[in-house]
Amino acid sequence: MKKFLIYFILTVTAIGMLFPFLVMVLISLSSNNEIAFNHIGNFLSLITMNNYKHVFGAIPVWKYFFNSLIVSVFTTIGQVFFSTLAGYAFARMNFKGRDAIFFIFLITMFIPPQVNIIPLFFLMRELHIVDTYQALIIPGLFGGFGVFMMRQYFLGFAKDLEDAATIDGCNKFQMFFKIALPLAIPAVATLAIFTFISSWNSFIWPLIITNSESMRTLPLGLAIFKGSYREITMWGDLLACSVICAVPTILIFLLEKKYLINDLLKGAVKE
């Protein structure tokens, strides 16, 4: 009975979370003169792609999509690369000032991102890279959360493996790239998902740092398109925009969800 109750609660919770997304998809497939749930019995006969055609015809969606993809992919690669290196160094290496430097990284996690926007903008302006891919990517390459997350993962790294690798003649870089990093794939995948989704959904920074339409990211471009409807609410078009923004992040999660496991050092020796 207890198990049934748990599954029932989880099922109801899942349905409650999926229901708004389902409503969004259904209305995006309806004409602006029809509401899907008023005609649920013959909904299939009312499905239309006109809202999506209108969105793709009104704005350069593919250009926005390409910009978002470039920014998100390179930001994710850079964030994962630097975070794993720093996390491993803080967890497995002893050097002067290690704890103090890590404490500084932790402090950055408590600073609201909005506080850094103006200094970052002036920095990008002095570097003459405003309205470029570099300005969109560079601020996202480094983050305290990623370093903290990878450090916590590498703290559970079995010392027996480290000792065995040292006996076999591995230096620090070989130990990291050949042993520690392959075993940290679950944590790397988790960090990659979080970073990609955060970068893909970023709105304030692209709004400030870009001037031309050719450099707009997808959330920014679609938000401006949504804002063009002030007198008449075109729900079908607006929710079609929302679906277009949401689909890539959902696909990324589905592709990498198998790596989201809690087993530290799965398959390795345990201490």
Q: What is the pTM of this model?
A: 0.82
**Is 89 inside a domain boundary?**
yes
Q: Residue 85: which of 123, 136, 142 has the closest Cα? A: 142
Q: Is 261 left (phi over 0), alpha (psi -120 to 50) or beta?
A: beta
Q: Cα(124)–Cα(73) distance, rounded to whole angstroms?
A: 20
Q: Which residue is it, tokens 């850094």?
A: 116
Q: What is the pLDDT of residues 40-82, one digit of tens each?
A: 555 555 677 888 888 888 888 889 999 999 999 999 999 999 9
**Is 33 inside a domain boundary?**
no
Q: What is the pLDDT of residues 151-206, one digit of tens each?
A: 988 888 777 777 787 887 778 788 888 888 888 888 888 889 889 999 998 989 99
Q: For 46-50, 92-96, 240-244, which range has the lowest pLDDT when averaged over its residues?
A: 46-50
**Is 176 inside a domain boundary?**
yes
87 close to 150: Cβ distance less than 8 angstroms: yes
**Structural domains in the chain (count):** 1
Q: For 14-18, 27-31, 123-127, 248-252, which range has the lowest pLDDT when averaged over its residues?
A: 27-31
**Is 224 inside a domain boundary?**
yes
27 close to 8: Cβ distance less than 8 angstroms: no
CATH number at residue 204: 1.10.3720.10
**Is 68 inside a domain boundary?**
yes
Q: Cα(60)–Cα(52) distance, rounded to whole angstroms?
A: 12
**pLDDT over threshold 60, residue 124:** yes
Q: Cα(133)–Cα(130) distance, rounded to whole angstroms?
A: 9
Q: Residue 164: which of 269, 264, 85, 92 has the closest Cα? A: 269
Range of the domain at 217: 60-233+246-259
**Is 75 inside a domain boundary?**
yes
Q: Which of 39-53, 232-246, 255-269: highest mean pLDDT?
A: 232-246
Q: Residue 236: which of 16, 37, 55, 38 has the closest Cα? A: 55
Tell me the backbone φ, ψ of residue 270, rounded to 5 degrees: -105, 150
**Is 35 inside a domain boundary?**
no
* Single-letter amino acid, residue 194: F
